[in-house]
Every structure is written in structure tokens, then in C-alpha cells.
């Protein structure tokens, strides 16, 4: 026994001796490995080494920059699915209302549509797992509904005017995730494309949308990048190539290790002559800024809205065998004029970086362009017309548009934030779907003919009161008109599609209105891009 006890005390001492002996030649990587081995072999309890290592990776990356990140296997799947353009599932668009999954739309040609699932159906169980009345999050429900291609989802569905639940057997298939939310003609000359993210399929989607719009007479184009947080680098410069000539500069990346890599237009674009306006705001980031910078620096488009986010760092994914992934910043990207639009950050100071939007709001930047202080040392010039443009923190728009708060009241906020407006519109469509579809054969007829009546708004007010939002006549007088349009847009979305929503709701968006005014004014558009006062 004495020998065993002596040995137990000697082993750590030997490890310590080895550590001291190796300290002069031990690299930081070996030191980290050594620390993990010591913990695994000598800690008083059984350590969760997986968590220890993951926490160490996160801590290391935090000291580098705000955009180098680590995600576990599940988080990685959730992040990459929207960018890879699809997943395997049953093919529905849904909302969780009153703790029940309600189908908004069965994807056209998808497995649910083929099986007979209809808009308005309520799915209460999948493969004997109850998903209604159990307060599951959207992410939990999606995990239940999704699965490998070819596997079966046995659904139990409650349908309006059907006394008993209906059983459906659905074989999961690959379901596309689209990055173009809407593409339509605003008038006989001007098209509109809204890009939600830059994913694997985005270039093809935009090409298809452009072809369709040109067939319908498009001569000018508005591209909506508001709230687009980016995605893959490649689609951003491929899309800019559609509007530029062969050899035009698109973007370049640079780093001490990899050097400089220039991206130029490989062919003449397919839309070289029409006017182009890009809509941006403070949440337009990364790939959105690459596209905006390429178009602005080549004097090919006018940028309308507010200063963009300011993300000019390029991340490369490094996957691990267990499905987790590290995204490491490997270079900076620069617009054709040489601008780096990455906003300042201090290594390891994530909190200040994350509060940048709050600071911008407090400074008055969202209300007035004069609140933005431009540094002359960061002034660059566009490649054709030599207009001044600025780096150092996002893309500055050619025409500033202030955020609209004229409609905003606490009454409006509570109705929207508590999901009351959304639920009211869904229930209205659910109760009147057949009659609405019969009266309005398509979205065009709905937009032209449907009116939100005063009685409907009164019903919304009463529904809000039942849900705990007290009616305020004075605040409703401020917000009521805006709210009426929101209601029509949401009903149009639930009845038809996302494009219908934007066709209606865009009338409320001051950036959209400014973009349309600009594209309809030849003189103002030309003067803006020429740099002449």
C-alpha cells in the first residue's frame, strides 16, 4: 500500500519535472495540449473535455476579432442550411400561433403539397411526437419535421370543418431555400428584386428574376438589400458582374499570408444600360456591402438609404470531423477604389462592437446624415466619375434616407411585438380563404381590390384588448393608417406569397419611396452619379 501511495504522489511530480524541462521549447499549442492532458488525467472529478476544448476555442477566437467564431455541430447545420440553398424535410411554410403549428403554404411541388397538406392545416403531431400545446420553439419543431431524404414523417393534422384529425404519410425530400424574397415589376419600366441573403443559389435566382423582369419590359431596376446580413462572397461579385463590363474591377481581398486576390468582371454583363438603384440600411452587411461597393465605385448604381453595417472581414470555414466548424478571418476585402469598409474594433472588446448600433442611434445618425463625421484621410474616388466615397465603416449612401418614426407608438409596438397583428391576419385568412381566393383570383386583383375595412380594424382592436393590449385612441390616430397597410400586406402574404407582402408593404418604406423617386428622375439620377451638384 505504501508503494502505491508513493507512486500516486510521484507521478504528478514526474509530470511537473517534465513540464519544467520542456518549458523552454514548449510551443503555445503544445502547452494547450499539455494542459488538457493534465486536466483529463488528474482532475478530481471526471471533466467534460469536449466542453473544455470548445470553450477554449471560443475564448481564443474572441481575442482575435468579432467575426471569427466557433459553432458546434447543431449550430453549424442551422447556419449553413440557408446558405447551401436547401435541406431535407416535408416542404411547408408555417407559423406557430397559439402554441399550434399552422401551415401558411405547402411548397409548390414539394412532398406536403403532393400528399394533400393545405394552407390553414394545423399539424398537432409528427411520428407520435406531440407538437401542439407543448410550448415548443420553432427550432425544436423544425428539428422534428426535418430529417434525411427518404425518411417518413407521419403527421396528424387538424383541418377546418373536418371533425376528426387526418393522418398523412409524407416522405421527406430536398427542399430549396430561396434567397430572393420577391421579384416583380413596380410599373411598366421598373423592376424590383429583394435579396434576403447571399447563398449558393443566389446568382442563379437573380439571373432568373432578371430574365423574367426583362420579358415584362424592365428598363430600370431597384435591388433591395435592406436587412441583408450577407453570406457567401462569390454571389456578391457575380451579381455585380451582371451590370458591368468585362475587365471592370469588382472587389479584391488581401492578407499578409495569402497576398492580394483581385476579382474582375469576366464577361460583359447582361444589364449594362438601364438605371440601377440599390436600397441599403444599417443592417446591410458583408456581401451586401461588396455588391454595393462594386456598383458605387464603378458609378453603375446609386445607393439609397443609410450607412451600412461595416463588415469588411472575410471568414474561411474550417470544419471538424464531428460536424462542428471554426470560421476564421483570413483576409480583408476592399472595394474597387481601395476602400476597406470594416468598422473599427478592439481585439477582445466584443461588447463595444456589439453596441455599435445603439451608439449610432444615440448619435442621431439614423435621423440625419450630418451626424456622420467623415474622415478626410479615408476619402477615395470612384473609378469613372471621380466622386468622393469613404471607407472606414460601411458604405455611405449616395442619397441618405432617415428612419421613419412618425407612425411609431407604444400601442403599435405592443400589437406587433406580442404577435397580435400576425395572429389576427392569419386567423382572418384561415376563416375567409375560400371566399378571398374566389373573389381575388391572383395577387394583382387582391392588391387592386382588397380594402381593410374599419370593421376589420375594430376587430383587431378588440382582439388586442382580449390579449392584454389596452386600446389607446390617441396613439391609434397616429399609427392606424400605417397599421392598416401592414394588415393588408400580411393578409396578402398569407393568402399568396412573400412577394405580395412587399408589393403592399413597400409603400410604407421611405427608402423604397426615395429609390423609386430617384429612378424615375433622369436628371437627378444622372447628376447624382456624375458627382455634379
**Distances from the Cα of 505 to the Cα of 286, 484, 501, angstroms:** 26, 10, 6
Residues 6+ apart with CB under 8 A from 307: 282, 360, 365, 372, 393, 394, 395, 396, 397
d(CA 507, CA 516) in angstroms, rounded, equals 10
pLDDT of residue 204 exceeding 90, the answer is: yes
Phi and psi at 70, nearest 5°, equal -125, 135
Dist. CA 40–CA 43, nearest whole Å: 6
Among 297, 299, 356, 398, the one annotated catalytic: 297
The predicted pLDDT at position 12 comes to 53
Q: Which residue has the cell 467575426?
A: 67
Distance, in Å, from the CA atom of 295 to the CA atom of 250, rounded to the nearest integer, reads 8
Read off the pLDDT of residues 437-447 as tens digits, 9 standing for 90 and up.
999 999 999 99
Identify the active-site residue in 136, 249, 275, 311.
Answer: 311
How far is the C-alpha of 77 from the C-alpha of 322, rounded, in Å?
12
- Three-state DSSP state, 154: strand
530, three cell numbers: 456624375
Give yes or no for a contact between 180 and 194, defined as CB atoms under 8 angstroms apart. yes
Helix (H) or strand (E) holding 205: helix 202-215
Q: Is 236 a catalytic residue?
A: no
User: Could you tell me what percent of the chain has a pLDDT over 70?
Assistant: 94
Q: Using DSSP, state whether 317 is helix, strand or coil.
A: strand
Look up 55 and say whether it is catalytic. Answer: no
pLDDT of 321 reads 95
Given the residues 236, 284, 286, 324, select the one marked as catalytic.
286
**Phi-psi label, residue 24: left if phi above 0, alpha if psi -120 to 50, beta otherwise:** alpha
Mean pLDDT of the chain: 90
427 an active-site residue? Answer: no
Residues 86-176, CATH architecture: Roll (2.30)
Residue 95: strand, helix, or coil:
strand
What's the confidence (pLDDT) of residue 6? Answer: 46
| Grid cell for residue 445 | 386583383
Is a pLDDT exceeding 50 seen at residue 4?
no
Question: Helix, strand, or coil here: 298?
Answer: coil
**CATH architecture under which domain 180-314+330-403 falls:** Alpha-Beta Complex (3.90)
pLDDT value for 18: 53
Contact 87, 418 (CB under 8 A): no
pLDDT in tens, 476-530: 999 999 999 999 999 999 999 999 999 999 999 999 999 999 999 999 999 999 9
C-alpha cell at 335: 472595394
Amino acid at each position: 500500500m505504501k508503494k502505491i501511495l508513493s507512486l500516486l504522489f510521484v507521478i504528478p511530480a514526474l509530470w511537473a519535472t517534465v513540464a519544467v524541462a520542456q518549458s523552454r521549447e514548449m510551443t503555445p499549442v503544445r502547452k494547450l495540449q499539455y494542459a488538457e492532458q493534465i486536466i483529463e488525467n488528474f482532475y478530481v472529478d471526471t471533466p467534460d473535455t469536449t466542453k473544455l476544448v470548445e470553450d477554449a476555442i471560443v475564448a481564443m477566437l474572441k481575442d482575435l476579432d468579432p467575426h471569427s467564431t466557433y459553432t458546434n455541430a447543431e449550430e453549424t447545420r442551422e447556419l449553413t442550411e440557408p446558405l447551401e440553398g436547401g435541406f431535407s424535410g416535408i416542404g411547408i411554410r408555417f407559423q406557430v400561433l397559439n402554441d399550434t403549428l399552422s401551415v401558411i403554404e405547402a411548397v409548390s411541388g414539394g412532398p406536403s403539397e403532393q400528399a394533400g397538406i393545405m394552407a390553414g392545416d394545423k399539424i398537432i403531431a409528427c411520428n407520435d411526437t406531440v407538437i401542439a400545446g407543448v410550448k415548443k420553439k420553432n427550432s425544436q419543431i423544425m428539428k422534428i419535421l426535418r430529417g434525411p431524404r427518404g425518411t417518413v414523417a407521419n403527421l396528424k393534422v387538424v383541418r377546418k370543418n373536418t371533425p376528426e384529425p387526418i393522418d398523412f404519410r409524407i416522405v421527406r425530400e430536398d427542399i430549396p431555400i430561396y434567397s430572393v424574397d420577391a421579384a416583380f415589376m413596380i410599373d411598366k419600366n421598373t423592376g424590383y428584386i429583394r435579396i434576403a441573403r447571399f447563398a449558393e443559389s443566389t446568382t442563379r435566382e437573380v439571373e432568373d428574376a432578371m430574365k423574367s423582369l426583362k420579358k415584362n419590359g424592365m428598363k430600370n431596376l431597384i435591388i433591395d438589400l435592406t436587412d441583408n446580413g450577407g453570406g457567401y462572397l462569390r454571389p456578391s461579385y457575380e451579381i455585380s458582374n451582371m451590370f458591368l463590363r468585362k475587365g471592370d474591377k469588382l472587389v479584391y481581398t488581401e492578407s499578409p499570408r495569402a497576398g492580394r486576390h483581385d476579382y474582375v468582371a469576366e464577361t460583359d454583363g447582361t444589364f449594362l444600360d438601364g438605371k440601377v438603384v440599390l436600397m441599403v440600411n444599417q443592417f446591410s452587411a458583408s456581401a451586401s456591402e461588396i455588391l454595393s461597393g462594386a456598383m458605387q465605385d464603378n458609378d453603375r448604381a446609386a445607393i439609397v438609404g443609410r450607412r451600412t453595417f461595416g463588415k469588411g472581414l472575410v471568414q474561411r470555414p474550417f470544419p471538424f470531423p464531428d460536424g462542428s466548424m471554426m470560421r476564421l478571418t483570413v483576409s480583408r476585402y476592399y472595394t474597387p477604389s481601395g476602400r476597406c469598409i470594416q468598422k473599427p474594433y478592439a481585439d477582445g472588446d466584443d461588447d463595444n462592437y456589439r453596441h455599435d448600433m445603439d451608439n449610432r442611434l444615440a448619435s442621431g445618425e439614423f435621423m440625419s446624415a450630418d451626424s456622420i463625421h467623415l474622415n478626410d484621410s479615408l476619402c477615395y474616388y470612384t473609378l469613372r466619375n471621380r466622386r468622393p466615397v469613404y471607407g472606414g465603416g460601411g458604405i455611405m449612401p449616395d442619397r441618405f434616407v432617415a428612419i421613419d418614426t412618425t407612425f411609431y407608438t407604444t400601442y403599435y409596438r405592443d400589437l406587433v411585438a406580442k404577435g397580435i397583428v400576425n395572429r389576427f391576419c392569419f386567423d382572418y385568412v384561415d376563416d375567409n380563404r375560400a371566399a378571398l381566393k374566389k373573389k381575388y383570383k391572383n395577387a394583382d386583383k387582391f392588391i387592386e381590390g382588397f380594402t381593410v375595412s374599419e370593421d376589420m380594424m375594430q376587430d383587431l382592436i378588440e382582439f388586442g384588448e382580449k390579449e392584454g393590449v389596452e386600446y389607446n385612441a390617441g396613439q391609434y390616430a397616429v399609427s392606424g393608417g400605417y397599421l392598416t397597410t401592414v394588415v393588408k400586406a400580411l393578409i396578402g402574404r398569407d393568402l399568396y406569397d412573400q412577394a405580395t407582402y412587399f408589393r403592399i408593404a413597400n409603400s410604407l418604406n421611405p427608402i423604397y419611396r426615395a429609390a423609386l423617386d430617384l429612378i424615375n428622375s433622369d436628371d437627378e439620377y444622372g447628376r447624382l452619379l456624375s458627382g455634379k451638384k
